[in-house]
């Protein structure tokens, strides 16, 4: 299915292609250049982390890949097709779990399933239970959302995003609001699930250590206007432990580079 | 649970006893304050000869149809005002203005337009319900966190599906308060209309109340008032309490 379609081998193996993306926002008093000429290719099954200070446009880029936002200029493609709107192949996870309070845990996981597939009710139920099991929350499927802790909510959100079987998972600082211990558990979970299900994951964070722990590649953004500055391959073996010394070395290096860009911005 | 029932029953029994004693003490003439026994006798005879059932059926029917129509029209209109600037400036402003008008003020107009008919009564009830529902729906839709619709859109929900499966359920807490307010307005204006004018197509509870006064039958007046209170309580328990319980359970809000 994925065999030679385009002339260039590089393009054929790219799951997501972003070329010369620019996007600006009009606020009441000024225009913010969120993204300026951003080009990025992401391979099938790759785990890519976008890192940068707030306001560098990384969330905007994620929204553009999700199809929730349109770029002012540039090309966005998934599997060689231009992205025209949101779709169940590219699901988004947000910083707040964004679970629906009027549905049970199970109802939330079923929401996407009911939309995206021609499954029977029994198959949907089975899938939903499978993914709740995968994130370790099957016991809680009949619970109400407000009865869960923050970490559990994000786990449900993860199950909800995985259930319709998207090929791309877009994660916008999904663990930003959680405490350190819960985050560490989720780093383990997400790596385990990624190795089992081999999704393409684009993960936005401002936590460099987190990015190094999860990503095959870490892409560094700088703000005003949002631009890609540098790219780091992280060849560490998996599963990775956020507290390991090797990981810390990479994180220290990337943080140093990041600070350089932020300071030039302030000075300039 | 039993303790709650017992203490509540005791309270109402005490109220009844106080009433009874007040009558026995002959402070007021029985024409002004009927005894509980005579009120009960009236209610029993009205049940037996069917007038009470008939009047209750007429009133409740008007109410349910009018209230239902008001909700059916109010929710879509509220969604509309919340989704377009133009309808907010027109229908929204209209709803805001007319909602401040006590709904009994519609009675004279309704009588001129529709005559002494069911339509006039329905019109009054709809006018009582509609504006509250529009405003509550509008407010609910504007208040829900945008992240819900973004998450739903990301999962492939579009158009009507987003409205019915995300926006409406998300604004349920607001819809409920709008429904309660609409109900209160509708119920009050219907009673006022029924007391105010004779509707040829059916005698409701309001008419019985009115004739009770005309005939100086204080037992009838108090008996009917009693029935009206019971209906109000029943609607709260049957219609609103289940929705409220659902809301509190799911959203994790409110009473213990």
Over range B53-81, report the average pLDDT: 94
Residue A232 lies in a domain: yes
CA-wise closest residue to A107 among A94, A120, A123, A125: A125
- Output the CA–CA distances (angstroms, integers) from residue B13 to B22, B54, B220, in the order listed: 14, 29, 21
A119 and A222 assigned to the same domain: no
Residues of B with CB under 8 A from a CB of A: 145, 147-148, 150-157, 161, 165-166, 169-170, 172, 249-252
Over range B175-200, report the average pLDDT: 89
Residue from A86, A94, A102, A176 whose CB has the most chain B CBs within 10 Å, to mutate:
A102
Q: What is the pLDDT of residues A99-124, one digit of tens each?
A: 999 999 999 999 999 986 678 999 99
Beta strands A47-51 and A73-78: pairing type?
unpaired
A173 and A253 assigned to the same domain: yes
pLDDT score for B130: 94
pLDDT band at A4 (very low <50, low <70, confident <90, very high): very low
pLDDT band at A168 (very low <50, low <70, confident <90, very high): very high
Residue B16 lies in a domain: no
Residues in B closer than 8 angstroms to A101, CB to CB, are: 170, 250-252
A19 and A79 assigned to the same domain: yes
Residue B98's CB is within 10 A of a number of other CB atoms, namely: 16
CA-wise closest residue to B226 among B34, B11, B28: B34
Residues in A closer than 8 angstroms to B170, CB to CB, are: 100-102
Contacts with A84 (C-beta within 8 Å, 6 or more apart), sequence order? A67
Residue A55: pLDDT over 80: no
A91, B249: Cβ pair inside 8 Å?
A: no
Rg (CA), chain A: 19
CATH code at position A67: 3.40.50.300
pLDDT score for B255: 58
**Residue A181 domain boundaries:** 14-89+166-267
Over range B121-125, report the average pLDDT: 93
What's the gap in Å between the CA of B171 and the closest CA on chain A? 10
A79 and A176 assigned to the same domain: yes
When divided into structural domains, chain B yields a total of 1
Give the pair of three-digit tokens for residue B49.
Answer: 């000869």
pLDDT score for A16: 94
pLDDT band at A267 (very low <50, low <70, confident <90, very high): low
Percentage of residues in chain B having pLDDT higher than 90: 68
Three-class DSSP category at A169: strand
Question: Does the interface predicted TM-score (ipTM) exceed 0.90?
Answer: no
Residue A34 lies in a domain: yes
A120 and A64 assigned to the same domain: no
A158 and A171 assigned to the same domain: no
A180 and A262 assigned to the same domain: yes
B170, A164: Cβ pair inside 8 Å?
A: no
Residue A8: pLDDT over 70: no
A202 DSSP β-pair partners: A48, A170
pLDDT score for A95: 84
A230 and A120 assigned to the same domain: no
Residue A10: pLDDT over 60: no
Contacts with B32 (C-beta within 8 Å, 6 or more apart), sequence order? B218
Residue A262: pLDDT over 90: no
Higher pLDDT, A7 or B156: B156
Residue A241 lies in a domain: yes
Residues A12/A15/A18/A19 CA torsion (nearest 10 deg):
-10
Is the CB of residue A164 less than 8 Å away from at least one CB of chain B? yes
Is the CB of residue A144 less than 8 Å away from at least one CB of chain B? yes
| CA–CA gap between residue A117 and residue B158 (Å, rounded) | 15
Residues B60/B65/B67/B70 CA torsion (nearest 10 deg):
-170
Residue A5 lies in a domain: no
Residue B172 lies in a domain: yes
Residue B9 lies in a domain: no
Q: What is the pLDDT of residues A202-256, one digit of tens each?
A: 999 989 999 999 999 999 998 888 899 999 999 999 899 999 999 999 999 999 9
CATH code at position B48: 1.10.3720.10
Residue A251 lies in a domain: yes
Residue B227: pLDDT over 50: yes
**Residue B161 domain boundaries:** 34-251
Residue B212 lies in a domain: yes
Residue B186 lies in a domain: yes
pLDDT score for A223: 83
pLDDT score for A266: 57
Give the pair of three-digit tokens for residue B93.
Answer: 């402003």
User: End of a domain among A165, A199, A214?
Assistant: A165
A86, B170: Cβ pair inside 8 Å?
A: no
A157 and A180 assigned to the same domain: no
Q: What is the DSSP letter of B236?
A: I
A257 and A195 assigned to the same domain: yes
Residue B67 lies in a domain: yes
| CA–CA gap between residue B145 and residue B196 (Å, rounded) | 45
- Output the CA–CA distances (angstroms, integers) from residue B69 to A206, B96, B124, B165, in the order listed: 52, 19, 12, 22
Q: What is the pLDDT of residues B30-62, one digit of tens each?
A: 788 899 999 999 999 999 999 999 999 999 999
Over range B199-218, report the average pLDDT: 88
Residue B205 lies in a domain: yes
| CA–CA gap between residue A166 and residue B48 (Å, rounded) | 67
Residue from B145, B146, B155, B254 whose CB has the most chain A CBs within 10 Å, to mutate:
B155
What mean pLDDT, rounded, does chain A reach? Answer: 88
Q: Which 3-state string (H, E, C) describes A208-258?
A: HHHHHHHCCEEEEEECCCCEEEEEEECCCCCCCCCCCHHHHHHHHHHHHHH
Q: What angle, 0 to 180 degrees and rounded to 10, lies between the N-to-C axes of helices B51-83 and B36-48? A: 90
A178 and A143 assigned to the same domain: no
Is the CB of residue A94 less than 8 Å away from at least one CB of chain B? yes
When divided into structural domains, chain A yields a total of 2
A76 DSSP β-pair partners: A18
A25 and A109 assigned to the same domain: no
Query: What's the longest Cα–Cα distance across chain A?
Result: 60
Over range B213-223, report the average pLDDT: 91
Higher pLDDT, B79 or A96: B79
- Report the number of secondary-structure helices (H) and strands (E) in chain B: 14, 0
Residue B71 lies in a domain: yes
- Output the CA–CA distances (angstroms, integers) from residue A258 to A33, A51, A206, A264, in the order listed: 19, 9, 10, 10
Residue A95 lies in a domain: no
pLDDT band at A190 (very low <50, low <70, confident <90, very high): very high
What's the gap in Å between the CA of A68 and the closest CA on chain B? 7
Closest in B153, B169, B250 to A68, CB measured: B153
């Amino acid at each position: 299915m994925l065999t030679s379609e385009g002339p260039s081998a590089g393009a054929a193996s790219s799951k997501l292609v972003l070329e010369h993306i620019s996007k600006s926002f009009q606020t009441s008093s000024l225009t913010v250049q969120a993204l300026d000429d951003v080009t990025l290719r992401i391979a099938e099954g790759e785990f890519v982390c976008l890192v940068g200070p707030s306001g560098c446009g990384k969330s905007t880029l994620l929204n553009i890949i999700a199809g929730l936002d349109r770029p002012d200029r540039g090309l966005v493609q998934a599997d060689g097709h231009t992205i025209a709107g949101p779709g169940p192949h590219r699901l988004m996870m947000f910083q707040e779990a964004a679970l629906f309070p009027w549905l049970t845990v199970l109802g939330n996981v079923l929401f996407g399933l009911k939309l995206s597939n021609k499954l029977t009710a029994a198959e949907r139920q089975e899938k939903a239970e499978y993914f709740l099991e995968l994130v370790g929350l099957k016991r809680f499927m009949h619970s109400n959302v407000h009865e869960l802790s923050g970490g559990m909510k994000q786990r449900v959100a993860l199950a909800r995003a995985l259930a319709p079987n998207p090929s791309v998972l877009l994660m916008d600082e999904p663990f930003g609001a959680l405490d350190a211990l819960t985050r560490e558990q989720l780093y383990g979970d997400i790596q385990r699930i990624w190795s089992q299900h081999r999704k393409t994951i684009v993960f936005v964070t401002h936590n460099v250590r987190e990015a190094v722990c999860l990503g095959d590649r870490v892409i560094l953004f700088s703000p005003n206007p949002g631009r890609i500055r540098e790219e780091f391959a992280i060849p560490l073996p998996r599963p990775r432990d956020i507290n390991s010394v090797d990981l810390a070395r990479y994180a220290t290096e990337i943080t140093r580079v990041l600070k350089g860009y932020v300071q030039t911005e302030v000075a300039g | 649970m039993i303790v709650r029932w017992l203490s509540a029953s005791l309270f109402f029994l005490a109220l009844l006893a106080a009433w009874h004693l007040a009558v026995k003490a002959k402070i007021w003439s029985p024409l002004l304050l009927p005894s509980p026994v005579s009120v009960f006798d009236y209610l029993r005879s009205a049940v037996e000869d069917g007038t009470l059932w008939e009047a209750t059926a007429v009133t409740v029917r008007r109410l349910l149809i009018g209230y239902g129509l008001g909700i059916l029209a109010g929710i879509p209109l509220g969604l509309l005002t919340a989704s377009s600037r133009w309808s907010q400036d027109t229908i929204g402003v209209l709803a805001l203005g007319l909602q401040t008008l006590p709904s009994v003020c519609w009675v004279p107009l309704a009588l001129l337009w529709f005559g002494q008919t069911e339509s006039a009564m329905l019109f009054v009830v709809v006018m009582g319900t509609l504006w509250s529902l529009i405003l509550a729906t509008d407010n609910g839709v504007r208040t829900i966190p945008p992240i819900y619709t973004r998450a739903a859109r990301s999962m492939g929900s579009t158009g009507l599906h987003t409205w019915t499966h995300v926006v409406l359920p998300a604004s349920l807490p607001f819809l409920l308060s709008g429904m309660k307010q609409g109900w209160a307005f509708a119920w009050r204006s219907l009673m006022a209309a029924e007391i105010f004018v004779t509707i040829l197509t059916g005698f409701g509870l309001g008419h019985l109340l009115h004739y009770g006064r005309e005939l100086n039958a204080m037992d009838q007046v108090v008996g009917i008032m009693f029935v009206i209170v019971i209906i109000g309580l029943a609607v709260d328990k049957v219609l609103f309490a289940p929705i409220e319980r659902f809301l509190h359970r799911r959203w994790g809000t409110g009473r213990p």
